[in-house]
A and B are shown apart, each in its own frame.
Chain A
Amino acid sequence: MVSVESERPGGELLVPTPVKIVVAGGFGTGKTTMVNSVSEIPPLHTEELLTEAGVGVDDVLGLEQKETTTVALDFGRITINPEVVLYLFGTPGQNRFWFMWDELAYGAIGAVILVDTRRLDSSFPSIDFFERRGIPFIIAVNCFEGAHAYEVAEVRRALDVDEAIPLVLCDARDRESSKTVLVSLIQHTMDRLDAMA
């Protein structure tokens, strides 16, 4: 069933530049919901196999004896233009898979760290991760129904994040709201780039 495509533009095929944004935060903060609300395709699911040591998979002989773990990844896609594609990756829930987090963060525009005010502490490991690696991030407070309405300043104080880190309120289910969050992150990354120049 493999038919020949007529398209052969000047011998070289167009292969777009990929960019990515990581959506992090504790369990149940709305990571998949946010990816879902802005993705142009239903979120995709894939799996990586890791050895228990978390150093990646090596030869198959070793694999038979070591404990292997499956790390699930959910992601979405936004085609920016024919030459640029943006991917949104939710971080795997289990914080111990730092190996996978490193792969996700590699070359990323930055991270959106989702926070649920009822469980602020569940997002602390995510904040630590991106802070330590110097990767741009913003905090997005997912305003769940029934969650206390806190002042932005209160949340900032409770999370102990620097004034320079944008902190926005959002509804991860809402496409426009999630778009605004992504825009804030991209602008923050650009501001940091300008400040370094």
Chain B
Amino acid sequence: MAGREDWWYDEAAGPLVRPYAMVRGRTRPLRPELHLVTQVRAMPSPADPAALSVEHLEIMELCRRPLSVAEVAAYLDVPLVVVKVLLSDLIQRGDVVIRDPSRVPQVPDRNLLQAVLDGVRGI
């Protein structure tokens, strides 16, 4: 019986799956509105979990609370570009929602700045 200790690879060997294999060679983000801080949040449960890869499911798990694209990439430990492709899949399927880009001011307005100012003072 092959135990864990018989495995020839370990953490130090690096990932067995190269990042681009996870996204089947696609590197161009499908959703241009996915910036570093764009907030993403998973719907309570994926429509058809069997159709999702392990990485997709990991994202669904992570994004039970809203997170930024950059945070998802950091927690999954994959390059940003890979996370953007995976997120694009999930958004397209309706499993992940993002902040409606039309409601996000490109430069923060006064009310938002005041809220941030109060928030930073309060930490």
Q: Does residue B93 face the partner (Cβ distance < 8 Å to A)?
A: no
Q: Does residue B47 face the partner (Cβ distance < 8 Å to A)?
A: no
Q: Are A7 and B37 in contact (CB under 8 A)?
A: no
Set of chain B residues within 8 Å of A103, measured between Cβ atoms = 35-36
Q: Are B113 and A193 in contact (CB under 8 A)?
A: yes
Give the distance to chain B from A127, nearest Cβ to Cβ, in Å.
Answer: 20
Set of chain A residues within 8 Å of B118, measured between Cβ atoms = 80
Q: Are A85 and B44 in contact (CB under 8 A)?
A: no
Give the residues from 18 to 36 in chain B that come closer than 8 angstroms, CB to CB, to chain A. 20, 25-28, 35-36
Q: Does residue B38 face the partner (Cβ distance < 8 Å to A)?
A: yes
User: Once bound together, how far apart are the Cα atoms of A49 and B84, in whole Å?
Assistant: 12
Q: Most chain-B Cβ atoms within 10 A of its Cβ — which of A8, A13, A89?
A: A13
Set of chain B residues within 8 Å of A73, measured between Cβ atoms = 36, 70
A58-B27, A59-B27 known; A186 vs B120 contact (CB < 8 Å): yes
Q: Are B79 and A47 in contact (CB under 8 A)?
A: yes
Set of chain A residues within 8 Å of B115, measured between Cβ atoms = 80-81, 84
Q: Choose from B60, B61, B68, B117 the contact partner of A18 (Cβ within 8 Å).
A: B68
A48-B80, A57-B81 known; A2 vs B46 contact (CB < 8 Å): yes
Q: Are A16 and B66 in contact (CB under 8 A)?
A: yes
Look across to chain B and name the residue whose beta carbon is closest to the beta carbon of A89.
B36
Number of chain B residues close to chain A: CB under 8 A: 53
Set of chain B residues within 8 Å of A7, measured between Cβ atoms = 44
* Total inter-chain residue pairs, C-beta < 8 Å: 152
Set of chain B residues within 8 Å of A87, measured between Cβ atoms = 36-37, 68, 70
Set of chain A residues within 8 Å of B75, measured between Cβ atoms = 44
Number of chain A residues close to chain B: CB under 8 A: 55
Q: Are B107 and A107 in contact (CB under 8 A)?
A: yes
Q: Does residue B4 face the partner (Cβ distance < 8 Å to A)?
A: no
Set of chain A residues within 8 Å of B26, measured between Cβ atoms = 60
Set of chain B residues within 8 Å of A13, measured between Cβ atoms = 41, 43, 66, 97
Q: Are A186 and B116 in contact (CB under 8 A)?
A: yes
Q: Does residue A189 face the partner (Cβ distance < 8 Å to B)?
A: yes
Q: Are A78 and B46 in contact (CB under 8 A)?
A: no
User: Once bound together, how far apart are the Cα atoms of A86 and B32, in whole Å?
Assistant: 21
Set of chain A residues within 8 Å of B27, measured between Cβ atoms = 57-60, 63
Cβ proximity bits A32-65 to B, threshold 8 Å, 1 near / 0 not? 0000001010001111110000000111100100
Q: Are A107 and B106 in contact (CB under 8 A)?
A: yes
Q: Are B74 and A45 in contact (CB under 8 A)?
A: yes
User: Which residues on A are within 8 Å of B, measured CB to CB?
Assistant: 1-2, 4-8, 13-20, 38, 40, 44-49, 57-60, 63, 70, 73, 75, 77-81, 84-87, 89, 103-104, 106-107, 109, 179, 182-183, 186-187, 189-190, 193-194
A–B Cβ pairs within 8 angstroms, 12 of them: A2-B49, A2-B57, A4-B45, A14-B41, A14-B66, A16-B66, A49-B80, A57-B81, A73-B36, A75-B74, A186-B120, A189-B113
| Apart from A7-B44, A15-B41, A186-B117: 4 A-B pairs, beta carbons within 8 A | A14-B41, A63-B27, A86-B119, A183-B117
